Structure 1
Amino acid sequence: MADHFRTDVDWEDIRIFIALARHGSLSAAARALSVNHATVARRISSLERALGDKLVERRPDGFVLTASGARALALANDMDTAAASLSRGGESDGPSGLVRINATPSLMQGFLVTRMAMLVGRYQALDIELATNMRTISLERREADIALRLGRPDDGDILAKRLLSLGYGLYASAGWSRRINAGKIPVFVGFDEANAHLPEAVWLDRHFPRAHMTFRTNTQFAQAAAARADAGIALLPHFIGRADDALVPCHLGQEPPSRDLWMLTRRQESRGAPIQIVKGYIEDIFLAERSLFEE
């Protein structure tokens, strides 16, 4: 692919290409831009013709960038940032641009949302997009700019920083805690069949193989709600269990292991001002509230 955009490239094609790269599907990009998916497909084809190269590949779970598409997106994002600066009269009160963060549903809902919203109040030109995905997202395919993952990553050209050790415990309502202390056989709240492979579900099955599972769901927040409603005992991250005044630790003689939380970024973009700001902020909030997570 040529080193620079050709003169016949349409800015609207570039804008739609950025949206497709960010959202991963024709329908999601179309909704974000208030156009129909046929328009998105047509604009992407137009940009590929103008550049003389294939920019995206369609896969069963959506579109991903080719190597040429990744290079084009880096230039397109620079153009988008410059256009945003021009629309503000060329002035900027700090870093600007979109930073997309991917994390587990429990981390996103239980910790990140309110805290990342405060960062936007500090930097008005910074746009934050938070998303959860049950499958493993790819930074190299630019499905996110920053990813928070449990367990040491094995990605390619990715920078990884360990944030902390994520501790777990068994939590229940006060009523269930009293029943356990009185010798009642425990029953549990856990993951549904589709998520039975998760480490938390595997640990619970291994250490309490004959226990009755009264309630199953696919998120730890739903499990916490069920435990709060007296359905049984839930294996939860401490940051969920400790933050819920209706739940108390329930000690059954088995202590679940902790898991390391890692922050990942693409090596070639790790020094960009918006990503640096967000990375530093994420490190700071986890450090400041470490006691909420660790043993």
Structure 2
Amino acid sequence: MDWDDLRVFLEVARGGSLSAAARTLRLSHATVGRRLAALEAGLGRTLMERRPDGHRLTDDGEAVRALAEAMDERAQAILRREGAGGGLSGTVRVTMTQAMADRFLVPRLGSLRAAHPDLDLEIITDNRTLSLARREADLAIRLARPRQGELIGRRLATLGYGLYTIPGAPDTLIGYDETLADLPEAQWLAQHGGGRRMGFRANSVLGQLAATLAGFGIAFLPCLLAAGEPGLIRLPLPGPPLTREAWLLVHRDRKDVPRVRAVLDHIATVFARDRALLEG
């Protein structure tokens, strides 16, 4: 068995496609495909299903991935031992919402980069709930406590929400579209909106913020998002306040990987430092 074939397989599994693996490994799309086919032929097993939206691991693929990940971690440990200063290296993938990434976390990652310049971060903002068990990401920030037994959760903060508008805006509401009507924020607004007309709908909180700043009406926004916009006016709440908990999740098999632990600890520190901003 060729380790290079396993390394290619591992990157396809991580990225979900031949193209993603090719970019990471700086190989051609065709080379990645040939190496994956060679590994499957050598093992006599199908490791991945080819689907229109990418590659998905079979049961055999999951088993091989677990072994390949263990080999990769040991190889990285050897490289770290040989490297000057023992610095961390490799890629850590973190998934979260677009708003959380763009408006809060990413601007606060500079000190992590300074401390570990060889550490590569991949921030994945996706409407799908990416699986930590399938290694689609190493860490996840989610607004719900973990239910799966193999996931370990660290409570990061309590997120506060408020009603915001700009001077001169109409007395109409800005909210989520019907596909997201089950979100706690959408339900709170439906219950306490006072019968106001919904004048603008969006499927993202960033879209709602943009509509608020454009003068479409009143939006129920996370305080962390509104705090950076001096033009917004915060209105009194007509009902009980809504809060949601932010949790940092990691698969128990990854929690002690040094590079993952470094990112995990940094994120926890960032949230603790800015707790007042998050709570509103």
Contact 2:95 2:137 in 1 (8 A): yes
Partner of 1:63: 55
Unaligned runs of 5+ in 1: 1-7, 180-185
Task: Pick from 28, 32, 44 the counterpart of residue 36 of structure 2.
Answer: 44
Aligned partner (choices 72, 75, 78) of residue 70 of structure 2:
75
State how far apart, in whole Å, the 2-side matches of 1:232 and 1:69 are.
53
1:208 maps to 2:201:
no
- Aligned CA-pair RMSD: 2.5
Q: Measure how far apart 1:271 and its partner are.
A: 0.9
Letter in 2 for 1:199: P
> Does the 8 A contact of 2:192 with 2:238 survive in 1?
no
Cα distance in 2 for residues equivalent to 1:246 and 1:80 = 52
Q: Is the 8 A contact 1:169 1:255 kept in 2?
A: no
| Residue of structure 1 equivalent to 2:122 | 129
Residue in 1 that maps onto 2:135: 142
Give the Cα separation in 2 of the matches to 1:44 and 1:209: 58
Structure 2: where are the runs of 5+ without partners? none
Q: Percent identity?
A: 40
1:17 aligns with 2:13: no
Change (3 A) 1:58 1:139: farther
Aligned residues between the structures: 277
Look up the match of 2:184: 199
Cα displacement (A) at 1:100: 0.5
Q: CA deviation at 1:59?
A: 5.5
Please tell me whether the aligned partners of residues 166 and 294 of structure 1 are also in contact (alpha carbons under 8 angstroms): yes
Counterpart in the other structure of 1:278: 263
Aligned to 2:162: 169
| TM-score where L is the length of structure 2 | 0.88
- How many Å apart are 1:57 and its aligned residue? 4.0
Check 1:196–1:131 CA distance in 2 against 1; reply closer, same or farther (3 A cut): same
Q: C-alpha offsets along residues 226-285 of structure 1, whole Å, 9 cap, x if unaligned?
A: 111211111111100122111121124124411111111110221111111111111111
Residue 290 (structure 1) shift = 0.1
Per-residue CA deviation, residues 97-125 of structure 1 (Å, 9 max, x unaligned), is: 11110011111111111112431122112
Structure 2 equivalent of residue 3 of structure 1: none
> Is the partner of 1:175 in helix, strand or coil?
coil
Relative to the length of structure 1, the TM-score reads 0.83
Change in CA separation of 1:60 and 1:260 when aligned onto 2, cut-off 3 Å: farther
Matched, 1:238 2:223: yes
Question: Does residue 220 in structure 1 map to residue 205 in structure 2?
Answer: yes
